[in-house]
Amino acid sequence: MPITRPALGEEEALAAAQVVRSGWLAMGAKVAELEGALRAALGAREVVAVSSGTAGLHLALHVLGLGPGDEVLVPSLSFVASANAVLHAGATPVFVDVEPRSFNLDPRDLAHALTPRTRAILVVHQLGLPAELDAILAFAARAGLAVIEDAACALGARYRGRPVGGPGGGRLAVFSFHPRKLVTTGEGGAIATEDAALAERLRLLRAQGLAIPAGARHAATGEPLEEEVPEVGWNYRLTDLQAAVGLPQLRRLDELLARRRALARRYDAALASLPGILPPLEPEGCEHAYQSYMVLLEGDRSRRELMVRLLERGIATRRAVTAIHELAAHRVRARRALPESERIARRGLMLPLFPGLSEAEQDEVIAALVEATGSR
């Protein structure tokens, strides 16, 4: 039993085949269609598709003018890409601790990391659970900081009834379409914003700064179009082949979310009676997308031993998200201990959860946990 399995079927296979037959594989009509579907799902004014979540984070930081000399507050407990993107933009990630039970950025720790160079907060919606945006946005407003949302895992999540990444959040929100996420295009990502001027620059920067998209050049009749390159960009384009695979999943997003949430409730109920295994929280006002279901092991229970016991029964699990400030590539910038991030990185364990997981399979995971913890 894998830790996850993408929700792909005949519809996605057919969509990919149709793009191949069309002869247009690179960014074009399908990417535009995916952007439109995401705008509708989020209620967002603008969506710009990109080649990955990491590329999206890099562009989001860049269009806000963040660069050398600027510090960006980032929760240490996250996928390493959150901090890498800050460095790609030329800025410096400054790590902040997380809350012990939601695993999300602790708004009370922001003040401890503030310096005269702080310019922005990169808030991560951990494993699909919305962070405390109200408190974070209020802090940012007081301190004059921009807020960017790393919503890589949070497509479909809701904060106080509103979709994460839609209006009411940070200046920009970034999603990922990696196969570990809710909707996948193989590799891919998207940036959502209410700011049309930022979106226009993002479109330019994802395509080498070329003001005329390939589709427009292709469609031009009569006079050949004049090329213009107003600024230096990257090749961060999504392809039509990828977008076509994402579209059917996006149409099923509500169904995919409901299935993940139902499976999470079943784990919650079963784990409540298991000693030493704490199920994840869903705080008031937050609707979890359950990109991952991560439990915390209490006391001296060995995570490694538990992982081995489950693997012996054919069940894959994963260690927690990393504490980035402890990784070799980022240690050099660590300024202080972040006890909660460090503890959760050591004690967190992810269990299989994906829409195609049957209840019988989930019961096998639960039975294996019961046996391994000797609680029955």
Ligand X SMILES: *Cc1c(COP(=O)(O)O)cnc(C)c1O
Q: Exposed, middle or buried, 24 (CB in 10 Å: 0-12/13-18/19+)?
A: middle
Choose which of 62, 178, 237, 330 interacts with ligand X (CB under 6 A): 178
Please list every residue from 22 through 61 that binds ligand X, using CB under 6 A: 52-54
Residue type, 189: G
| Site of tokens 């695979």 | 245
With respect to ligand X, which residue has the nearer C-beta, 327 or 370?
Answer: 327
The residue (of 152 and 372) whose beta carbon lies closer to ligand X is 152
We find the least distance from the C-beta atom of residue 177 to ligand X, in angstroms, to be 7
Exposure of 199 in the CB half-sphere (CA atoms within 13 A): 16
Nearer to ligand X, 147 or 270 (CB): 147
Would you tell me how many other CB atoms lie within 10 Å of the CB of residue 371? 13
**Can residue 153 be called a binding residue for ligand X (CB under 6 A)?**
yes
Residue with Cβ nearer ligand X (81 or 94): 81
List Cα–Cα distances, 195 to 145, 146, 264, in angstroms.
Answer: 17, 13, 35
State which residue, 109 or 150, has the beta carbon closest to ligand X. Answer: 150
3-class state of residue 358 by DSSP? coil
Taking the complex as a whole, how short is the minimal distance between the CB of residue 314 and ligand X, in angstroms?
A: 26
Q: Is 341 in the site for ligand X (CB under 6 A)?
A: no
Is 181 annotated in the active site? Answer: yes
Residue number of the CB atom closest to ligand X: 53
Contact status: 330 vs ligand X (CB under 6 A): no
Rounded Cα–Cα distance for residues 47 and 38 (Å): 7
Q: Is 124 a residue that touches ligand X (CB under 6 A)? A: yes
Report CA dihedral (120, 126, 130, 133) to the nearest 10 degrees.
-20
Should residue 193 be labelled a site residue for ligand X when binding is judged by CB under 6 A? no
Q: Is 172 in the site for ligand X (CB under 6 A)?
A: no
DSSP assigned state of 169: S
In the complex, minimum distance from the CB of residue 126 to ligand X, in angstroms, rounded to a whole number = 7
Min dist CB 348 to ligand X, Å, is 14
Q: Which stretch binds ligand X (CB under 6 A): 77-85, 87-95, 253-261, 326-334?
A: 77-85
Choices 112-120, 150-158, 254-262, 354-362 (CB under 6 A): range interacting with ligand X: 150-158
Task: Spot the catalytic one: 119, 125, 181, 206.
Answer: 181
CA distances from 352 to 40, 147, 330 (A): 30, 32, 29
Q: What are the angstrom distances between the C-alpha of 347 and each of 97, 301, 311? A: 16, 9, 18
Q: Of the candidates 49, 72, 73, 79, which one interacts with ligand X according to CB under 6 A?
A: 79
Please tell me whether residue 317 binds ligand X under the rule CB under 6 A. Answer: no
Assess 149 for contact with ligand X (CB under 6 A): no
Closest CA to 33 of 255, 210, 205, 246: 246
Smallest distance from ligand X to CB 189, Å: 5
Query: Given the rule CB under 6 A, which of 148-156, 204-212, 238-246, 345-353 is the region that contacts ligand X?
Result: 148-156
User: Cα–Cα distance between 249 and 356 in angstroms, integer?
Assistant: 13
The full DSSP string for 17-40 is HHHHHHT--SSSHHHHHHHHHHHH
Which of 1-9, 73-81, 195-203, 307-315 is the region at the interface with ligand X (rule: CB under 6 A)?
Answer: 73-81
Q: Distance between CA 250 and CA 188 in Å, rounded?
A: 13
Shortest spacing between CB 173 and ligand X, in angstroms: 12
Nearer to ligand X, 82 or 193 (CB): 82
> Can you tell me the distance from the alpha carbon of 182 to that of 356, in angstroms, rounded to the nearest whole number?
12
Contact 74, 148 (CB under 8 A): no
How many other CB atoms are there within 10 angstroms of residue 37's CB atom? 19
Contacts with ligand X by CB under 6 A lie at 52-54, 78-79, 81-82, 124, 150, 152-153, 176, 178, 189
Catalytic positions, please? Answer: 181
